[in-house]
Amino acid sequence: MKPRLVLVGLGHGQFEILEHLDRLRECYEVSYIGGREAIYTGAFPQVIAGEMASATTRLRRDIAPVAERLIALDPDARLVETDHGNIAYDILVLATGAKSRGIGTGLKPMTRNMLDEIVQSDAITIVGGGKAGVELAFACIRRKRHVTLYARDILPDLPHHVGRQTARRLVQSGVTLMLSSFQPGTKAEGLVLDATGVGPDDWWAAAGLADHDAFIETTADLRHRVYREIYITGDMAARLNGGVDAVRSGRHVARQLLGTSRPFKSRTSLNILLTTPGRALLTFGKLTWHGRLPYWLKRKIDRRHVERFN
Ligand SMILES: Cc1cc2nc3c(=O)[nH]c(=O)nc-3n(C[C@H](O)[C@H](O)[C@H](O)COP(=O)(O)OP(=O)(O)OC[C@H]3O[C@@H](n4cnc5c(N)ncnc54)[C@H](O)[C@@H]3O)c2cc1C
């Protein structure tokens, strides 16, 4: 009998793993738990800005979910509790992402309904001045009446002058910049979006996969430190960082499952944020470049990704 491989969640890395479904089926009894579609976060600001029709990526047609949601996990018994009963596994791949911290409407997990709600709202208040909050503010101001961004700092991970220039561009574009934290009870205009980053989901600690309020620790090959038959991808893993790592972690796990593994190496990732019309900010570590070429590159990468998985 083949080992039972259970894949959970339609995170960015899972799409990479599902690309190898035919070969995986030769070695494993493969089951999938999760939804049939996901929003590609690299591209959804372009949908809000009216530059792309859709950021929806879809599950392959030749795999049917055995359940829609993981509810709990018993790693000692190797059982996943789902909305369709318990499912046993020999090897488990988790790609369910992390969740927003809880101010207003969380951006994670991102759904099509939430994206529609953002597109339809006239006024938006965004909390968080990191890359996600800044890109969202630039995207929203194209088609919204009012956009307010609450942030103590703008792009705090980048050199100071880049944050200052970006703050100027935001204000020139019409964004109301509040250089302060958003306090509970603050009177906000329109839909409040939480771009303050993500935190752990409650079930991780309940299952004994992580300490309370912590991300999941893995070995360098992305296996859980104690439960070696569990692979962790994307935002769930303490050692990974952002969407590019989520995709790379999926490729790495696919290779491990197929026996062609190489050690996972953390790399500095290239990020590109949409800014003013026709321009984007490319960042690679502390290096930055604002202009038309990053914009062109971003559109090419994002369109290719959405077409590949749609
Ligand atoms: C506004 C914004 C813009 C961003 N832009 C970029 C960018 O340009 N570049 C970049 O590198 N990163 C970007 N990020 C970060 C990026 O979105 C995340 O790092 C990435 O999505 C992590 O992928 P993941 O595979 O961990 O899971 P996710 O993409 O979060 O997907 C998790 C999936 O699992 C499903 N799921 C959740 N719980 C369960 C459950 N219990 N059972 C079954 N399924 C479940 C969810 O519905 C979802 O489909 C952005 C984030 C935000 C908020």
Which residue's CA is the closest to the ligand 1 atom numbered 34?
96
What is the per-residue DSSP string for 183-218? PTT----SEEEE-S-EE--HHHHHTTSS-TT-PBPB
- How far apart are alpha carbons 271 and 193 in whole angstroms? 21
Q: How far is the CA of 248 from the centre of ligand 1 (A)?
A: 14
Q: What is the dihedral of CA 66, 72, 76, 77, to 10 degrees?
A: -40
Which residue's CA is the closest to the ligand 1 atom numbered 18?
243
Provide the pLDDT for residue 73. 98
Domains in the chain, ordered, with CATH?
4-34+69-98+200-257 (3.50.50.60), 105-196+268-308 (3.50.50.60)
Strands 79-82 and 85-88 turn out to be: antiparallel
Provide the pLDDT for residue 263. 78
Burial degree of 21 (CB within 10 A; 0-12, 13-18, 19+): middle
260 CB contacts (<8 Å, ≥6 apart)? none
Bridge partner residues of 223 (DSSP): 231
> Which atom of ligand 1 lies nearest, measured to the CA of 244?
11
User: Which residues are near ligand 1 (CB < 6 Å)?
Assistant: 8-13, 33-35, 38, 41-42, 69-70, 95-97, 107-109, 132, 135-136, 195, 233-236, 242-244, 246, 271
Neighbours of 6 (CB within 10 A): 26
Three-state SS for 40-61 is CCCCHHHHHCCCCCCCEEECCC
Q: What are the strands of the beta sheet with 270-274, ordered from one edge?
A: 270-274, 280-284, 287-291
218 CB contacts (<8 Å, ≥6 apart)? 224, 225, 232, 237, 238, 239
Provide the pLDDT for residue 125. 97
Say how many CA atoms lie within 13 Å of 184 toward its Cβ. 3
Phi, psi of 278 (to 5 degrees): 80, 5
> Which atom of ligand 1 lies nearest, measured to the CA of 68?
43
Provide the pLDDT for residue 80. 98
Q: Which residues of the chain have pLDDT under 50?
A: none
Q: How far is the CA of 16 from the centre of ligand 1 (A)?
A: 14
